[in-house]
Amino acid sequence: MEIVISETKQELGKKAAEMGAKLICKAIFERGKANIIVATGASQFEMLSELVKEDIDWSVVTGFHLDEYIGVSDTHPASFRKYLKERFVNLIPLKEFNYVNGSVEPYEECLRLGKLISKHPIDVAFVGIGENSHLAFNDPPADFETEEAYLVVTLNEDCRLQQMGEGWFPTLNDVPGKAISMSIRQIMKSKAIICSVPDARKAKAVHQTLNSEISPKCPASILRKHADSVLFLDSPAASLIL
């Protein structure tokens, strides 16, 4: 795993977007199209704001959504579908974007998305790491074994506290207890992974990701096994590894 440390989260976002854009353009040059995974959350603000400025032929790019709360409508302030429409999809002329719909029967939605993504090998996955070292909504202990592309997962208290702390929900009781998440193995099938992790509150998770045993207890540690993953940090997030 390559590590890139920037002074600020704005610089982090620009560097991550530039590398991601190069990888997308490379896939388009080689195959005439590209498939990507896009994450959400506060950690992706700066990267996405830069990515939409990049010179990419978005008309041949298909996107996939990483995760979504179950039981949250796409008009809810915390909806990741709403987030992606406003910060990414509505700003560029994508060929197609496949959202995770948390408002329908979740197991059927997992099957639907699994069939779709099986036909679209992923060139670039844009992801982050949670304060509890989760990858997507795969909280510890994560399932490293399932081949299912999408799963119904239970969000642990640390994860739910993070969502409340970032301001998406007013109280802990308002944070849903379940979500649909892309699985660990599906994320790891991506040809390249761009992982953006700003802020001091992520420093402990970054340290664990890079130094702990690779295991379901630290889901993001699996990224160290990927052949082409790059971890973009700002100085606060990197404070415990410097």
> Mind listing the pLDDT tens digit for each residue in 83-116?
999 999 999 999 999 999 999 999 999 999 999 9
- Of 117, 173, 129, 179, the C-alpha closest to 154 is 179
143 vs 214: CA distance, rounded Å: 13
Is residue 217 pLDDT above 90, yes or no? yes
19 vs 138: CA distance, rounded Å: 25
DSSP string, 194-233: EEEE-SGGGHHHHHHHHHS-SSTTSGGGGGGG-TTEEEEE
pLDDT of residue 49: 97
- Of 58, 63, 93, 95, the C-alpha closest to 80 is 63
Is residue 148 pLDDT above 90, yes or no? yes
In this predicted model, what pLDDT tens digit does every residue of 160-207 receive, in sequence order? 999 999 988 999 999 999 999 999 999 999 999 999 999 999 999 999
List the domain boundaries for the chain: 2-43+52-234
pLDDT of residue 25: 98
pLDDT of residue 46: 97
Amino acid identity for residue 60 in this structure: V
What is the pLDDT confidence band of residue 15, given thresholds at 50, 70 and 90?
A: very high
- Does domain 2-43+52-234 fall under CATH 3.40.50.1360? My reply is yes
- Of 212, 189, 203, the C-alpha closest to 233 is 203
DSSP string, 102-162: TTS-HHHHHHHHHHHHTTS--SEEEE---TT--BTTBPSSP-SS---SEEEEEPPHHHHHH
DSSP one-letter code for 9:
H
Q: Which residues pair with 124 in a beta bridge?
A: 36, 192
14 vs 172: CA distance, rounded Å: 33
| Residue 130 near residue 43, CB atoms below 8 Å | no
**Stretch 128-151: mean pLDDT, rounded?**
96
**Stretch 135-159: mean pLDDT, rounded?**
96
73 vs 115: CA distance, rounded Å: 23
Cα dihedral sign for 54, 238, 139, 222? positive
